[in-house]
Structure 1
């Protein structure tokens, strides 16, 4: 994870510098907001990857002297087929349409989105890694 963490840290720093320079020179609030959100998103991914690296340590891919066989075996858990992501995506689309069309559709969208996100997040609580 260390290589990926450095990559996203560099991306976040790039967007931070770009946001600062663009904000000082352009005075465009939409561009500053877009660059700021890009900085936040890259920073969140970088923070997650650094946390994973500190928690799990170096992977065989991070070590230059590692052998191929060290990376063999089970690497991650992937859940079985699930309809919760589709439900969450439909709820997100309805919330987005509700912002344009009206509060009533936005409320329906949140009603669809909430069980989708909760089901997607908690469907595998009994799995042991």
Structure 2
């Protein structure tokens, strides 16, 4: 995960440089805030990947001398089918409509989205892993 950490550190550096250039030429606060937030978010992801690479050690993909056969095999369990992605998406759409039409619709959308997210979390909770 060290490569990913350096990749997002490069993205963070890009946003920091662009934020400095933007601050120099434009005296508008919204763009500066957006670039600062983009810098902070990419820095957070970079720090997460760096900490994970230090904690878990190098992966097989991080070493150059590893044969391809060593990285073969199942990666993880992926759900074959689920009703929760469309439920969550519908809840997010109702939240967006609630921003236009009223808080009451936004609260309904929040309930739908919470149900979809809870379904994601607990759908395969009893797999026995």
**Is the TM value for this pair above 0.5?**
yes
The alpha-carbon distance between structure 1 residues 41 and 86, as it changes in their structure 2 partners (threshold 3 A), is: farther
Counterpart check, 1:17 vs 2:17: yes
Paired positions, count: 129
Measure how far apart 1:51 and its partner are. Answer: 4.1
Q: Distance in 2 between matches of 1:13 and 1:122?
A: 38
Q: Helix, strand or coil: the match of 1:117? A: helix
Measure how far apart 1:20 and its partner are. Answer: 3.9
Q: Distance in 2 between matches of 1:74 and 1:27?
A: 52
- Give 2:126's aligned residue: 126
Larger Rg: 2
The alpha-carbon distance between structure 1 residues 96 and 53, as it changes in their structure 2 partners (threshold 3 A), is: same
Counterpart check, 1:103 vs 2:103: yes
- Give 2:81's aligned residue: 81
TM norm structure 1: 0.81
Q: Distance in 2 between matches of 1:44 and 1:123?
A: 29
Q: Distance in 2 between matches of 1:21 and 1:70?
A: 46
The alpha-carbon distance between structure 1 residues 27 and 57, as it changes in their structure 2 partners (threshold 3 A), is: same
Q: Which segments of 5 or more consecutive residues in structure 1 lack a partner in the other structure?
A: none
1:80-105 deviations in Å (ceiling 9; x for gaps): 31121221111112112211221121
Q: Helix, strand or coil: the match of 1:81? A: coil
Moved over 6 A (4+): none
- Give 2:53's aligned residue: 53
